[in-house]
Amino acid sequence: MAAGLLLKLVGFCFWAVFWLGGAATVSTNAGAGGEAVVVDARSAIAVTDEDFVCATLDWWPPDKCDYGTCSWGLATLLNLDLSNKILLNAVKAFSPLKLRLGGSLQDVLIYDNGDPRQLCTPFTKNSSAMFGFTQGCLPLHRWDELNVFFQKSGAKIIFGLNALNGRVPMPDGSLGGPWNYTNAASFIRYTVSKGYDIHGWELGNELSGSGVGARVDADQYAADVLALKQIIDTSYQGHASKPMVIAPGGFFDAAWFTDLISKTKPNQMDVITHHIYNLGPGVDTHLIDKILDPSYLDGEAGTFSSLQGILKSAGTSTIAWVGEAGGAYNSGHHLVTDSFVFSFWYLDQLGMSSKYDTKTYCRQTLIGGNYGLLNTTTFEPNPDYYSALLWHRLMGTNVLSTTFNSMNKIRAYAHCARESKGITLLLINLSGNNTNHIYVTSEGTGAQPYSTKREGRRPYRTKGGRRFGHIPGLGEEAQLIREEYHLTPKDGNLQSQHVLLNGNVLAPDANGDIPKLEPVKVEGTQPITVAPYSIVFAHIPSFYAPACR
């Protein structure tokens, strides 16, 4: 016992010399058996919404087909089984999940107003019509049913309005003339009268820039956004809060977006939304190659950076969201955009977009097509559902500068931990060959590095500007324990629709309950092991992070 006490005292003196002698950072050279992720936690580089993760629901009928495959089934707003337990529990698990209701057909959708003179007919396939379908209608009884589900699940709703009513063809090929908002205004008033809670009303879908199927000039669009703002102000007069005014739900075009922002500033438009399908068509046979290519993933950073720059220089209160992102357009690709491999793209998008002050990111879709977070027919979560849920529960709003220079096949992102101390680090290994052993260190104390090779220990906490590791036997062990969540594909198959968390398959139980997402606890002085083709969330409560106070 005396010998043990002596060892403790020697250990204490060893660590005290380093701690009292001055601030120190971590040495993570290869000779010490690891690589370094450097996190600057002195201040946040961006801030996201608390409910950053968002998903979409679309309008497509069952006979919407792409490349000979009809992938939507009964999984859209007009036909979804709202009584399904997995569906309800999957949305409730986020508490809350933003749901954006919209898509291509929203601009040919009218709303039932209870007037028997206005026919409320469903979409009908017509190859000569825009997007291949005639005008459709949302019955009021279906809107009522949807809102019962939204209230039960606690979802926050963004509704995409038809922005093409009243437009006429222009000489340049665009559609012009003011938006005829009569039907939309009636629908908004009905929604208010029923007490349905709407987080935001979004005008139009993919009509910005060169448009998809149709386009509207930015000047006219700005005037229509102002009209929507007036409708909302009037309809919600006397309410404690009003829904957000959101537009345009289209692909980023710098000049067009700049015009829209300048003509709606400083506070007429709350959110500007853009869409991302940077992997190309769902029929592309090289989708997996693109997903695993770091240089290809990096290509989307230019869009986020450009939009952030426009907003910063405009003198506006408008913020940026990704309003719809399915990666591969035309409904995605089965066993790619609904399988494990797509979590590499999806989580990288969440990490990258948040660095550029994107406040919300809406995934296409919650269910439907080949890119749903949930399986279109069974409602069971696909791998990306669990990736999204882990992000939502672990990654806080404050975004931290994070660098990893050892190899570009590792993607690294860090945020302040959500509702907890320290930080959460996300590591994505795009390599199928390399297992990485990664240490985490902090940036910016101006200290000289030192190596704590003795007993393999490495500090990552600072106190009063001084870093120290754990002191053996003196009560620091509990504070240096971290929690890790390792995601890998079932049977090592990147195209599996089942994901393992720390080696265990994730699936709802017989009652449709979403499984608990349990971490493994690891001694914090040990490196984070990132297996080939895997994803790791690491919650590090002992990381000293002034930005997270």
Query: Which uninterrupted H or E stretch holds 492?
Result: none
Beta pairing partners, 160: 202
> Any residues with CB less than 8 A from the CB of 234 and at least 6 apart, and which?
none
Q: Where are the beta strands (DSSP E) in 366-503?
A: 395-403, 410-417, 423-429, 436-442, 449-450, 461-463, 466-468, 481-489, 499-501
- DSSP assignment string, 363-382: ES-SBSTTS-SB-TTT-PBP
Instruction: Identify the three-state secondary structure at position 491.
Output: helix
Q: Which one-letter DSSP state was computed for residue 346?
A: H
Contacts of residue 373, defined as CB under 8 A and 6 or more positions apart, other chains included, come to 55, 90, 363, 365, 366, 367, 381, 382, 384, 385, 388
From 365, 310, 316, 319, select the one nearest 342 (Cα to Cα).
365
Q: Which positions are catalytic? A: 206, 324
66-104 burial code (b ≥16 CB/10 A, e <16): beeeebbbebbbbbbebebebbbbbbbbbebbbbbbbbb
Enter the tokens of residue 309: 């720059």
Residue 479 makes CB contacts below 8 A (sequence gap 6+) with 461, 470, 524, 541, 542
Q: What are phi and psi of 87, to 5 degrees?
A: -55, -50
Which residues are CB-neighbours of 126 under 8 A, at least 6 positions away? 132, 133, 134
